[in-house]
Structures are given as structure tokens and as C-alpha cells.
Amino acid sequence: MPLPVGWLTVGAEWVHLDPWMYIGRNLPTTFTYRRLVQAEHVRNPEGVPVGAKVLVEKPLGYPAGPDYYEVLVHAKAGLRERVTIGVQARFAAKGENELGRPVEIEDPADAGRRTPSGDAPEYLLHARLAGEVLIGEFVLSSVPLELRSGAVVDAIRVLNRGYEAGKILRDLQFSPYVSVQLRHDFRR
């Protein structure tokens, strides 16, 4: 949305994944995303070289997996083409049901699970404030570039961390940065 001194973007996201999403009678063996690292020294449990190590393996779909609920709201504003500020707030709940756990179809307790499931689901509150300023523009080997500097502040609170009732994690993070980017007019 254009403003007299810049622009504003506002958004919201809501996600609800049931505890049995991606799982069931069979573990996810098809339609998966897999990232490997080629390595000659990697061996399977029997000690036979396999030549690759799996870094990530998960089914296609929402990255948090099953048994997850999230509400996210965010806003970002650009002021006079030099300053960008943003704010974001997220509430999430992660139940105890994980990928790799087959659901007992005949078990009424499994059939009746609701998100977030378990005796002590994790609850997350996450607030973020970010700011960035354009320091300057220059050309290097006929490539137009921008030099930007900014910072991100994250405040995080997790209740029932690791699914342990009452265990709380509080974290405050400050992340300053400097970046070199392709200039806007060159990216068109």
C-alpha cells in the first residue's frame, strides 16, 4: 500500500495441522523432500560405506510437521526509500505427535487427538522488530550495488519446552548485519 512517505505491507497467516497429518498406517516413504551430503566416509549401522549422509528428510508440506497450530501477523514499511522497518508477532502450539510415529487406527485415544496433542504441548510466543537503512549505492565491475545495514531483535518465550510441563525458555536475541545487494533498478 503506497504511503505519502513510502509503502506499507501488512499480512497474517493461520495454520492448523491435525496430529495425524502426514502419518497413518504407513510411515512417509514417498513424496518426501530429502537433502544429502556426499561423503565417502559415511557408513550405515552395519559399517558399510554408503557415500552419502541424509541431512534433511521430511514429507512435502508445512515444515513444522503434524500436530501444529500457528497464528502470525506482520507489517513492514519502507520510508523515503532509505529506511525499512518491520514488526512480527507469532503464537504457535506444537503437540507431542511427531513424524515417524504410526497412528494406531483402532485406538480411540489416537483417533480423538486434537491439535495440540499430549499432556504438555509446547507453546511459543515470538516477537520480532527489524530495521534496515540504505547506506549507499555504488558500481563494482559494472554491477550496480547497494550497501545496507540493519538489525533484528527477537524476543522468544517457550512454555513446556521439550514437552516438559512447566519448563520455560526465555530468549532475547539481537542480530546486527551489513549486506551488499544488487541495486533495485538492476533487478528489474
- SS3 category, 17: strand
The C-alpha atoms of residue 5 and residue 78 are separated, in whole angstroms, by: 8
- Distance, CA of 143 to CA of 153 (rounded, Å): 32
Q: How far, CA to CA in Å, does 8 sit from each of 2, 73, 74, 80, 127?
A: 6, 14, 11, 12, 19
- Residue 3's pLDDT is 77
Set of cell numbers at residue 168:
520455560
Hunting for cell 497467516 — which residue is that?
A: 13
User: Cell 510415529 sits at which residue?
Assistant: 101
| pLDDT at 188 (0 to 100) | 44
Cβ atoms of 181 and 146 closer than 8 Å: yes
pLDDT for residue 187: 46
Cα(87)–Cα(118) distance, rounded to whole angstroms?
32
Return the closest-CA partner of residue 68 out of 43, 84, 86, 90.
90
Residue 123: what pLDDT? 97
Global pTM reads 0.75
∠ CA(76), CA(80), CA(85), 5° rounding?
25
Helix count (H) and strand count (E) of the chain? 2, 9
Taking the chain (188 residues) in runs of 10, the rounded mean pLDDT of each run is: 85 90 56 59 65 62 82 94 94 85 65 83 97 93 92 97 94 96 66
Asked if residue 28 lies in contact with residue 66, where contact means CB atoms within 8 angstroms, the answer is: no
Burial of 163 (0-12, 13-18, 19+ CB in 10 A): middle
Domain ranges for the chain, please list them: 2-23+63-187
